[in-house]
Structure 1
Amino acid sequence: MADFPNLSRRGFLNRSAAVGGLLVVPGLLSACSKTDAGSADGAGALEALRKQGFVRVAYANEAPYGYMEGKQLKGEAPTLHREIFKALGVDELKPTLSEWDGLIPGLQAGKYDVVSAGMAITPERCANAIFSEPEFISPTALMVKKGNPKKVTDLASAKAAGVVVGVMSGAVEGSYAEGAGISKDRIKSLQKPQDGADAVKGGRIDAFLLTGISLRWLAKTNPGTEVTEAFLPELDGKRQYSPGGAVFRKGNEDLRDAFNRELKKIVSDRSRYVGLLQEYGFGATELPPTTLKTADLCKG
């Protein structure tokens, strides 16, 4: 199973995270032959996948988004994508492990058909690939000691209680805490998610701020902690949704559109969505609102 430190590379840390390496090499896109498995472009992409019986997906071995457990590909994205592609007549996911920074370049090079890694939708990435509509949003939460002795529920209550809040070093959560008015001397930087859990258990911080998805997963192996209900922080008056989705190669818009039609059926059915993904810490709070559109997210 993926190590918890990998959660710090999710791409929600800042808008430019994992953008390095997305430069398109001249000739790279044309180097992919249509005779390669699953590499057909445009309207023929889905039909090619149906004929071969599988879709090649890339994952970064980051729990709970996409990871290998034994010989089984698990996580939010593979589980959701397996359901969608089965509905589209493609019964099997063939996984390829990639470093996070290599996911989009590998997609551009035709090494796989879809990135199944819960990748955040950002304008920088939209310039190099095409995204599905949001599969999930990532509301923020707080990990606290069991019983929540400080009774914090969100950043406003954390500020009022004067608690010490831990955040990942360089992560966007630090700006959320500052934006809520928590003084810098009450914000402590940590290197890994497990460091945050250890600091909570050891009393070095009162609360650890991260996405609810990651914290609920982390809490499974950290008894003595609990996670608050997720909430949407604000920056400059704007709610921070941190949405993620599937990623397709440019030119495969028809494949993306077919995927989106099946995705809409799932995200429109709360019980089905939760039933598929609750094993990985995703619940109703992670359902993307119908007003949240990839076209708008790509504009920034």
Structure 2
Amino acid sequence: MASPNRYDRQGITDARAHVPGPARRSLLAGVAALGALGAAGCSRVATASSAPGGDLLGRLRAQGVVRLGIAGEIPFGYIDRDGELTGEAPELARVVFKRLGVDRVQPVPTEFGSLIPGLNSQQFDVVAAGMYVNAERCEQVLFADPDYQMLDSFIVRKGNPKGLRDYGDVVAKKARFATGTGYAEIEYAVEAGVKESDILIVPDQVAGLNAVEAGRVDVFAGTALTTREVVKKSAKAEATKPFSPLVDGKPRVDGGAFAFRPTETGLRDAFNTELRALKKSGELLRVLKPFGFTEAEMTDLTAKELCRR
């Protein structure tokens, strides 16, 4: 049985994005890339902080700009068809860093697997890519508290004729099952008893929708956000209610957050202070809502909780 942290969360693919990225990335790919240079061709940021807690926030205020590592993934962080930086993480970064006295954000596009090595080799100042928090990553970077949480959901035929509501139903009803390349749902399905050899792997949720509509599979599994968004224009398919997959018999709720270099506790703490204020006021949902997030994706999970899993 593979580690429950092996796979990651997927984004929404869109032909308009100028910086393509895979729909969902394996954590192992990120670990393998630790020796690689992230964000090739980008100028380096200042040298690492030596002061206790780090001095990056002060330097960012003096520079007036923070460099964001993004992975070209809708809706988390991408360049739109007009060449503008957008996505839930960059938009949130604009709000938080403005409050912290840093007026501008600058994108540094890279591969998802290069985000952590790129951060730690100082190619950019912060990872702003909706990155899931898990134990392996917590050994490499410092996470803010999650700005969103995510459950799973299925794409099924209209009316859900097989009554598929979770992975247990897929096993019990011998449903033909599909999910995306590298998706965490592969492991969640196997955990429930689906044979990995029986899983149809497709590139992304759009291909999954097509497979369900064409009758090649009974169900496609993805995150609640991606399934909800992709079925909006479908006349043949619908998304099921979100649910928590089980890992080692316990419900799993994933959370995505900003990542900082391990020495920058001062910046992380300042970021968390502003994030908590945005959550309390309801402003966080207003910032994330245009990217498909709802009240159900708001969370009080902490990085400390997720790092222990």
TM over 0.5: yes
**2:286 aligned partner:** 275
**2:204 aligned partner:** 192
Say yes or no: does 1:254 pair with 2:266. yes
Say yes or no: does 1:89 pair with 2:89. no
Per the TM alignment, residue 118 of structure 1 is displaced from its structure 2 partner at its CA by 1.0
Per the TM alignment, residue 7 of structure 1 is displaced from its structure 2 partner at its CA by 4.8
1:9-31 C-alpha deviation (Å, 9 max, x unpaired): 3x4x5x43422222499xxxxxx
Gaps of 5+ in 1: 26-31
Q: Distance in 2 between matches of 1:61 and 1:184?
A: 29
1:52 to 49, 58, 63: 63
Per the TM alignment, residue 82 of structure 1 is displaced from its structure 2 partner at its CA by 1.4
1:226 to 232, 238, 254: 238
Say yes or no: does 1:121 pair with 2:133. yes
Per the TM alignment, residue 214 of structure 1 is displaced from its structure 2 partner at its CA by 2.2
- State the AA in 1 paired with 2:128: S
Judge which range, 191-200 or 229-238, deviates more.
191-200
1:235-284 C-alpha deviation (Å, 9 max, x unpaired): 21222222221011222110011001111122345x43332212222222
* 8 Å contact from structure 2 (residues 19, 78) kept in 1: no
Per the TM alignment, residue 54 of structure 1 is displaced from its structure 2 partner at its CA by 1.6
Say yes or no: does 1:298 pair with 2:301. no
Per the TM alignment, residue 60 of structure 1 is displaced from its structure 2 partner at its CA by 0.8
Q: Distance in 2 between matches of 1:5 and 1:188?
A: 23
**1:72 aligned partner:** 84
* 8 Å contact from structure 2 (residues 45, 123) kept in 1: no
**1:2 aligned partner:** 17
Normalised to the residue count of structure 1, the TM-score between the two structures is 0.83
Over 3 Å counting, the alpha-carbon distance change for 1:262 and 1:204 in structure 2 is same
* 8 Å contact from structure 2 (residues 20, 72) kept in 1: no
**1:154 aligned partner:** 166
Over 3 Å counting, the alpha-carbon distance change for 1:44 and 1:281 in structure 2 is same
Q: Distance in 2 between matches of 1:138 and 1:103?
A: 21
Judge which range, 103-112 or 255-264, deviates more.
103-112
SS in 1 for 2:227: helix
- State the AA in 2 paired with 1:297: L
Q: Distance in 2 between matches of 1:216 and 1:33?
A: 38
Judge which range, 194-203 or 146-155, deviates more.
146-155
Q: Distance in 1 between matches of 2:178 and 2:163?
A: 16
Over 3 Å counting, the alpha-carbon distance change for 1:170 and 1:188 in structure 2 is same
**1:241 aligned partner:** 253
Q: Distance in 2 between matches of 1:142 and 1:5?
A: 24
- State the AA in 1 paired with 2:23: S
Q: Distance in 2 between matches of 1:5 and 1:201?
A: 25
SS in 1 for 2:114: helix
**1:109 aligned partner:** 121
Per the TM alignment, residue 153 of structure 1 is displaced from its structure 2 partner at its CA by 2.9
Over 3 Å counting, the alpha-carbon distance change for 1:4 and 1:238 in structure 2 is farther
Over 3 Å counting, the alpha-carbon distance change for 1:106 and 1:61 in structure 2 is same
- State the AA in 2 paired with 1:46: L
Q: Distance in 2 between matches of 1:223 and 1:76?
A: 28
Q: Distance in 1 between matches of 2:177 and 2:291?
A: 25
Gaps of 5+ in 2: 1-15, 38-43
* 8 Å contact from structure 1 (residues 131, 294) kept in 2: yes
* 8 Å contact from structure 2 (residues 45, 124) kept in 1: no
**1:61 aligned partner:** 72
How large is the Cα RMSD of the aligned pairs? 2.9
* 8 Å contact from structure 1 (residues 22, 128) kept in 2: no
Say yes or no: does 1:204 pair with 2:184. no
